[in-house]
Structure 1
Amino acid sequence: MDFDPAPIAGKLTRRGNRTINTQTLRARATELASVRVAAIVIPVFLLAPAIWNGYPLLQWDTGGYLARWYEGYLVPSRSTVFGLYLHVGEGSGFWFNLVLQALATLWIITLTLRVLGLAQPFRVAAISLLLILTTALPWLASMLLTDIFAGLAVLALFLLVLHGDKLARTEKASLFVFTAFASASHSATLGVLTGLCALALLAWPWLKARIALPALALGGAALLTGAAMLLAANAALSGQFAWTPGGYGVAFGRMMQDGIVARYLADHCAQEQLKLCPYRDQLPATADEFLWGHSMFNTLGRFEGLEGEMGFIVTHSLAAYPLMQAEAALEATGQQLIDVATGEGTNGWIPHTYGIIERYIPSELEAMRAAHQQHWDIDFPTINRLHVPVALASMLAMLALLAHALSRRRLDDLTLLAATVTFALLGNAVICGVISGPHDRYGARMVWIATFTALIAAARYFDDEADEEELRPS
């Protein structure tokens, strides 16, 4: 009798398939569990500074944003859109805002890793935890300030413009809204994003295969929506359909700090009747002392009393001393690039913010006063022994990545990300350094995306090494 192996083979095949299916299901279940754990654990770690503090971290500028809902008028450099965002979270002691910030951070980091082919749960968790340990990211996410949205907005625009084809419609719509909100939250963020779009448009003739005009138009539309959002919020709260004021005042402060204002007053007070002429020998040494300290700025009516004169001096000094202005701008840009320390303005001495909370949100006083920050318990000098070297090394890594790509004439996704981050850091240094003057806060809020890109490059390198090892003959 002939032996027919088919029935036995069929049984073995079915058993084998069941085994494979079971293993696949277990692997998928494990991966799903890992994703769920990461979705809880990473936001908690991102908010670790605030949780330890016992209250959201505050900064000198926080009070100006909090007051927008209550005071109903426009204040220089204080976005009403961000003020409304903070007002929404008041009932939760602002923890609602922090949770949103942490979830947005995890979402955009994960989305960036996904389009670059690195979205495995372990990778997402490892890179996120390294960012939390070595950069300002958790301090930004734990703070009631616009700064967390600066770096995230750069990544969001990168995804919209260069990887829109890899995103679902809901993801693109969400990134559009996020980018619009982030650009409306701070003029410097809007300036950086506008500069990136302008560079992409200039590069389009050479990068048609990588930059789709409809995607670039979508990114530009998000910025226009953000501008419209800010104008609408200003009109709703103040009755003025106007941009947030203060540009001339901030630029004036930087020029005063660089000695340009004193030079202009010395050269022109004999011919021009300016309010500052009697005080030309008493100007403070820094812009912060002039604008926010006890100076003649208060005596002469602050922004309302001096806005016109400050604008006059700013514009006329640009024409009168072009070489001096160029040298000062170049120096300010260079200084801003290396001013990257975490925690500037986040200490126990922020009387304006305390006063705003006491006046308008007294229910928060007890919790705020009990926080570690208000007892000067945060040791940023020690933290920055790690953060500053990591930040500076990360910026050098961006240059190394671009140099390596140029030497090999390679334009892959990682190179485009490194280029985006490099131009964002440079644009941020120009806008913040030249207009406001160099501050660590402006650098720290943006430089973490360089560390993020460097970690992506490291992950890619180890992947390539592993692939080469597999291909080598044993």
Structure 2
Amino acid sequence: MEHIEGTGHLRMVGHPMDHNDVKTKVLRARPADKVSVWITAILIPLFLIAPALWNGYPLLQWDTGGYLARWYEGYLVPSRSTVFGLYLHFGEASDFWVNLGAQALCTLWILQLTLRVLNLSQPFRLLAISLLLILTTALPWLSSLLLTDIFAGLSVLSLFILIAHGDKITPLEKLSLALFTAFAAATHSATLGVLFGLCVLGFLARPFLREKIALAGLTQASLSLVLGSAMLLSANYALSGQLAWTPGGIGVAFGRMLQDGIVAKYLNEHCGEEKLKLCPYRNELPATADEFLWGDSMFDKLGRFKGLGDEMGHIVVRSLADYPAWQAEAALKATAQQLVMVATGEGTISWLPHTYGIIEHYIPLQVAPMRAAHQQHGEINFAAVNRLHVPVALASMLLALAIFALALWRRKFDDLALLAATVSFALLGNAMICGIISGPHDRYGARLVWIATLTVLLAAARYFGDEDEVEADDASLPR
């Protein structure tokens, strides 16, 4: 027997602490915990938007203007979610600082929930892991940016919690996570695709992992995606009068095939027998999809998506049938390239004429603070940042995959291995969807790869963690 100092309790030496001992330990630490909780709750959100605070204005990207314009223009634009456009509109009066605050707080919330359900919840541990993520990944740049990208990684974590750890959170938290997941899915079709793929994999894996994957959690997660789809359709109808999905998938896929040379070959082989608008330009096609779709090209002369949409769809479908082996090879190559394209900051530059034009036309009161920001003076350089971010991202992907593979080899699949599996499949699914449809871009990799770094940090925390501390954390979980 031994006396636990300051508690008035005895316990058997060598025996685990019972629930009352753990509860006493937690209660005794409560004053210090309150201070550390407040320090964590204040510092993490501030550091998450530190790039925007330094910039003097939320960071902008070349796609930002398309989302901002959705409220004002009243029609659907390819690849620009009206749900995210409405979200940005609600923050206009605050110069979008409300949006950045919401992004930072959602990030803090999801991070602490992830630690909590893995029995790693401790304020200073949360602070340490968050600071490491802020220093070594794209996370603070994503949360400081007016773009959908921050919600991609967060939604993978929220889906994981719903499916694998729904029994460890309260009903209110479960509802909040479902609503958050639905919103995130509605902000970008690629995010919806990744989440849908994870749900499908969850149903396929459930017969082998019944104790880890609850049917109720899978059902709730799947329903959240249905809700997200309904959100998008409703917003599209409310703003445009069209009950339709956000357009652009075929056009974006066409751009990727153009970049791979498939479109040029199709035109050269079929222009003699088909009357296609692009035939006169078949020898002048731009080298990249971005140049064709968003630069000064024949795409503009031929009416953009409205004028060329049907023809691009025709070429995409016919070329899939005509060149299946080439398409498969291009798809594999694009997926592989996308997996390793993870640099931070793509498109967050000083030359953003479309975004600037949208702000000047529709939100003129924000022109002055926008023009005064460091970004608009070319003072952001991601080269130095990526000397750290890129190797950390690539190493994190390999280590997360190693955690998953080791669990399979040992046939011991704990909650951390399940997270590593979720993250690995999310990264692969993201690379397939974005690489094959849109073509590889650093932006698509950077917005998700930070959750691999989080997984590695959580594994390190589990390995080096204090057993008593984990027991105390477990005692604080909902029962």
TM-score by length of 1: 0.93
Between the aligned partners of 2:348 and 2:334, the Cα distance in structure 1 is: 23
1:181 to 172, 180, 183: 183
Partner of 1:331: 333
Partner of 1:37: 39
Partner of 2:323: 321
Q: Give, in angstroms, the shift of residue 16 of structure 1.
A: 6.7
Partner of 2:472: none
The one-letter code sitting in structure 2 at the alignment partner of 1:85 is Y
Q: Within the alignment, does 1:105 sit opposite 2:126 as a pair? A: no
**Structure 1: runs of 5 or more not aligned:** 1-12, 468-474
Between the aligned partners of 2:7 and 2:252, the Cα distance in structure 1 is: 71
Partner of 2:425: 423
Partner of 1:132: 134
Task: Give the ranges of 4+ consecutive aligned residues of structure 1 lying more than 3 Å apart after TM superposition.
Answer: 13-18, 20-26, 464-467
- How big is each residue's C-alpha offset from its partner over 1:243-292, in whole Å with a ceiling of 9 and x where there is no partner? 00011100000000000000111111111111101100000000000000
Q: Give, in angstroms, the shift of residue 403 of structure 1.
A: 2.2
- How big is each residue's C-alpha offset from its partner over 1:143-198, in whole Å with a ceiling of 9 and x where there is no partner? 00000000000000000011101110000000000000000000000000000001
- How big is each residue's C-alpha offset from its partner over 1:424-450, in whole Å with a ceiling of 9 and x where there is no partner? 000000000000000000000000000
In structure 2, do the counterparts of structure 1 residues 278 and 24 end up closer, same or farther at CA, with 3 Å as the change threshold? closer
1:42-441 → structure 2 map (5 Å cutoff): 42-441=44-443
Between the aligned partners of 2:422 and 2:445, the Cα distance in structure 1 is: 16
Between the aligned partners of 1:163 and 1:120, the Cα distance in structure 2 is: 18
Between the aligned partners of 2:453 and 2:26, the Cα distance in structure 1 is: 35
Aligned length: 455
Between the aligned partners of 1:353 and 1:24, the Cα distance in structure 2 is: 51
Q: Give, in angstroms, the shift of residue 406 of structure 1.
A: 2.0
Q: Give, in angstroms, the shift of residue 66 of structure 1.
A: 0.3
Q: Secondary structure at the match of 1:201?
A: helix
Between the aligned partners of 1:22 and 1:170, the Cα distance in structure 2 is: 27
Between the aligned partners of 1:105 and 1:248, the Cα distance in structure 2 is: 33
Q: Give, in angstroms, the shift of residue 220 of structure 1.
A: 0.5
The one-letter code sitting in structure 1 at the alignment partner of 2:43 is V
Larger radius of gyration: 1
Q: Give, in angstroms, the shift of residue 69 of structure 1.
A: 0.2
Between the aligned partners of 2:468 and 2:101, the Cα distance in structure 1 is: 37
Q: Give, in angstroms, the shift of residue 202 of structure 1.
A: 1.2
Q: Give, in angstroms, the shift of residue 59 of structure 1.
A: 0.3
Q: Give, in angstroms, the shift of residue 24 of structure 1.
A: 6.6
The one-letter code sitting in structure 2 at the alignment partner of 1:413 is D
Q: Secondary structure at the match of 2:351?
A: coil
Between the aligned partners of 2:7 and 2:432, the Cα distance in structure 1 is: 63
**How large is the Cα RMSD of the aligned pairs?**
2.0
Between the aligned partners of 2:461 and 2:163, the Cα distance in structure 1 is: 24
- How big is each residue's C-alpha offset from its partner over 1:14-51, in whole Å with a ceiling of 9 and x where there is no partner? 99759x99997562011011111110110000010000
- How big is each residue's C-alpha offset from its partner over 1:315-334, in whole Å with a ceiling of 9 and x where there is no partner? 11000000000000000000
Paired residues of 2:59 and 2:348 also in contact (CA < 8 A): yes
Q: Secondary structure at the match of 1:124?
A: helix
In structure 2, do the counterparts of structure 1 residues 76 and 15 end up closer, same or farther at CA, with 3 Å as the change threshold? closer
In structure 2, do the counterparts of structure 1 residues 351 and 465 end up closer, same or farther at CA, with 3 Å as the change threshold? same
In structure 2, do the counterparts of structure 1 residues 466 and 316 end up closer, same or farther at CA, with 3 Å as the change threshold? same
Q: Give, in angstroms, the shift of residue 203 of structure 1.
A: 1.3
- How big is each residue's C-alpha offset from its partner over 1:220-253, in whole Å with a ceiling of 9 and x where there is no partner? 0000000000000000000000000011100000
In structure 2, do the counterparts of structure 1 residues 251 and 14 end up closer, same or farther at CA, with 3 Å as the change threshold? closer
The one-letter code sitting in structure 1 at the alignment partner of 2:318 is H
TM-score by length of 2: 0.92
**Structure 2: runs of 5 or more not aligned:** 10-20, 470-479
Between the aligned partners of 1:466 and 1:387, the Cα distance in structure 2 is: 34
The one-letter code sitting in structure 2 at the alignment partner of 1:139 is W
Q: Secondary structure at the match of 1:119?
A: coil
Between the aligned partners of 1:409 and 1:240, the Cα distance in structure 2 is: 50
